[in-house]
Amino acid sequence: MELSVEQAAELRELANSRDVPADVATRARIVLWSGEGRRRKDIAELLGVSLPTVDRWRTRYAERGLAGLEGDCPGGAREQVPTRVRARVIALTRMTPPVGTGLSHWSTRELAKYLKRTENVTVSWHYIAKVWREENLKPHRKGTFKISKDPAFADKVADVVGLYLAPPGGAVVLSVDEKTQIQALDRTQPVLPVTFAATEKRTHDYVRHGTTNLFAALNVATGEVTGECRPSRNAVNFLAFLKKVVKPHADKEIHVVLDNLSTHTTPEVKAWLTNNQHVHFHFTPVGSSWINQIETWFGILTRQSIRRGTFSSVNVLIKQIRDYIDSWNSEAKPFTWTATTDEILTKVRLVQTSIKKLVANNSK
């Protein structure tokens, strides 16, 4: 039988929990080891059970999930958790834990303890985990936000989004930015690669071998990326890169989306723009780099190539970045931008309203 990563994690927690009866833990190990590909005979021998027992709990889990491992309660049907308790679990999960708890977010066990301590409601953490799965609640996850204070925010959003959703006919739209100070990190001991039934392993400590700066441009229409690594980020390197990326499109109108770095508005850059009237700059709002599509690509590059990479030198890091760009361009596809200007501005207004309410409540 095959198990998802989430199912395997749940079974492993059940098998190793001190709060779970030994027979339930054994059943969890039966299913977990079956999912790992162990033979029935080996599982039965290791756990000291019969082959029919292995088959029974594998089948029960396939039919009913974790609930199937708890067995049948003698003397009648299992008592159901009242609807009001389920509603309370959902409501608490969707709120930040009360200040007095000292918690930053809920876990299944902490929520179960809180209900017992404050409301004398007894539910297992297994039940809470089940409710979270059914309601797709993930209180352990977090996000980030930043509200731009740019007075021209709305106009700049409309300008950039307009280029994404309705670019001028025959024009080229390039999303340009720099990813600075990319570190060439090497582990103090060799990385143990992925092997059968074992994940990649690495030491927690590392050695720094220097940094590089990646200048990159995304063709919004095709998804192709042009990139170049330089030892420093300055106006001279930016202008040299800009000349490189616009050269293949010299016979077309070129619209460049970029942020408000000082290196993008130096006298040299402005003079070059004056002499190249077919190139037009479109600046994102201050503090709103998320609207620049190349930032999305930087995130993908970081997750897929850099974050887990090990680099013995800056040159090794640069080569990997180049290889990644070549691989990306071999099957390049444009990002699909769907958010309209009105949708973005509406969401921003809602967040601003929420922040004002929060500040007002905290000041009382």
Kindly list the distances between the CA atom of residue 19 and the CA atoms of 47, 105, 124, 172, in Å, as whole numbers in the listed order.
Answer: 19, 22, 10, 62
Instruction: Report residue 197's pLDDT band, with 50, 70 and 90 as the boundaries.
Output: low
Task: Provide the residue type at 310 as one letter.
Answer: T
pLDDT at 74 over 60: no
For 45-55, the pLDDT digits (tens) are 888 889 999 99
pLDDT at 121 over 90: no
Instruction: Report residue 75's pLDDT band, with 50, 70 and 90 as the boundaries.
Output: very low
Instruction: Report residue 76's pLDDT band, with 50, 70 and 90 as the boundaries.
Output: very low
pLDDT for 77 equals 46
Percent of the chain with pLDDT over 70: 92
The CA angle 354-357-362, to the nearest 5 degrees, is: 125
Average pLDDT for 329-353: 87
Average pLDDT for 28-36: 90
Least confident segment among 28-42, 62-76, 176-190, 249-263: 62-76
The residue among 362 and 261 whose pLDDT is bigger is: 261
Kindly list the distances between the CA atom of residue 61 and the CA atoms of 5, 67, 85, 204, 344, in Å, as whole numbers in the listed order.
Answer: 16, 8, 26, 37, 45
Instruction: Report residue 294's pLDDT band, with 50, 70 and 90 as the boundaries.
Output: very high
pLDDT at 252 over 50: yes
pLDDT for 330 equals 94
Neighbours of 70 (CB within 10 A): 17
pLDDT for 114 equals 93
The CA angle 32-304-196, to the nearest 5 degrees, is: 35
Least confident segment among 31-35, 111-115, 156-160, 355-359: 355-359
Query: Whats the size of the chain, residue-wise?
Result: 364
Q: Quick check: pTM over 0.85?
A: no
* Alpha helices (H) in the chain, listed in sequence order: 5-16, 22-35, 40-47, 51-64, 83-93, 108-119, 125-135, 153-165, 235-246, 267-275, 293-301, 314-330, 341-362
Average pLDDT for 48-74: 82
Residue tagged 């309660």 (tokens): 73
Task: Report the number of secondary-structure helices (H) and strands (E) in the chain.
Answer: 13, 5
Instruction: Report residue 224's pLDDT band, with 50, 70 and 90 as the boundaries.
Output: very high
Please tell me whether residue 20 adopts helix, strand or coil conformation.
Answer: coil
pLDDT at 184 over 80: yes
| Mean predicted lDDT score pLDDT of the chain | 86
